[in-house]
Amino acid sequence: MLRGSVKNVCSVVATNDLRLMRDYALSVVTEWVELRIDYVLSSEDALVSTQSVINGVKELVRELRSTGKEVIITLRSRSEGGRFYGGEELRKYLMIKLASSEPTLIDVEARSKVFRSVTSVLKELGIDFIASIHYLSRVPTEEELLKEAFKAFSNGAKLFKAVYPARELRDNLVALNLCSLMSGKSVIMCSGSLGRVSRVLAPLAGAPFTYVYVGKEPVAPGQLSLNELLKAWESLGVISDG
């Protein structure tokens, strides 16, 4: 089941050790890999070595791309659930520097102060980006999500990503409906234990991929491991164990 490249799945590699990140990233069997660089730069001490981190990430991205992997670089702010320790101007600088490694996509928070300035440079460089929004404590309306998606695409986003907490099972339906409505262009999921449904079904509804964690713990509430996802797909008859 795990031979080759598992399609429509993105493995999230999040660790504060760049060498361990490399080991994890090179071992994944999914089509997509997300490198959570905010975990590497999650402390004041780590910011001292930003240039070595830039060099290491560039080398890793190129290595992954040479093996046929699709790579997402993410430097998530704390305001949207990330761990980056520095300020927005430093984050802007780092995202632009990391773009030179030519990842498939760079994740930029649509509500961040540096969204327009970062994405303007990315468009000049020909680097595609995800416009993402993370609702940490409330459930947005379908209309709000559609409005945010329209803004994202109007600003040149390749993909729109939104994550919000599921308070009840039916909250997943909005996410899945929007994945279907914007098929191939959006990744919309719910967080928390009740949101696992949307994570399992998102690619079946039209999302280009769903996220799974690598290592011992989920990066987001309700996130599944690859084995958990594949078992769910197998139980639904989406894949076989043969």
What is the tens place of the pLDDT at every residue in 116-128? 999 999 999 999 9
Token pair belonging to 120: 């303007």
Q: What percent of the chain has pLDDT over 90?
A: 92
27 occurs within a structural domain:
yes
How many whole angstroms from its chain centre is CA 82? 11
149 occurs within a structural domain:
yes
| Confidence check: pLDDT of 4 > 90 | no
pLDDT of residue 239: 79
Q: How many domains does the chain have?
A: 1
Q: What is the pTM of this model?
A: 0.95
**Residues in Cβ contact with 119 at an 8 Å cutoff, skipping those fewer than 6 apart:** 108, 129, 131, 155, 156, 157
Domain ranges, residue 200: 6-236
Q: What percent of the chain has pLDDT over 70?
A: 97
pLDDT of residue 108: 98
Distance between start and end Cα atoms, the chain: 7
pLDDT of residue 241: 64
242 occurs within a structural domain:
no
Q: Give the DSSP H or E segment for 52.
A: helix 50-66
241 occurs within a structural domain:
no
What is the CATH number for 26?
3.20.20.70
pLDDT digits (tens, 9 = 90+) for 68-105: 999 999 999 999 999 999 999 999 999 999 999 999 99
1 occurs within a structural domain:
no
How confident is the model over 201-224, as a mean pLDDT?
Answer: 96
pLDDT of residue 238: 85
| Confidence check: pLDDT of 162 > 80 | yes
Residue type, 195: G
Residue type, 159: L
145 occurs within a structural domain:
yes
CB 212 within 8 A of CB 226: yes
Tell which residue, 31, 33, 32, 30, has the closest CA to residue 22: 33
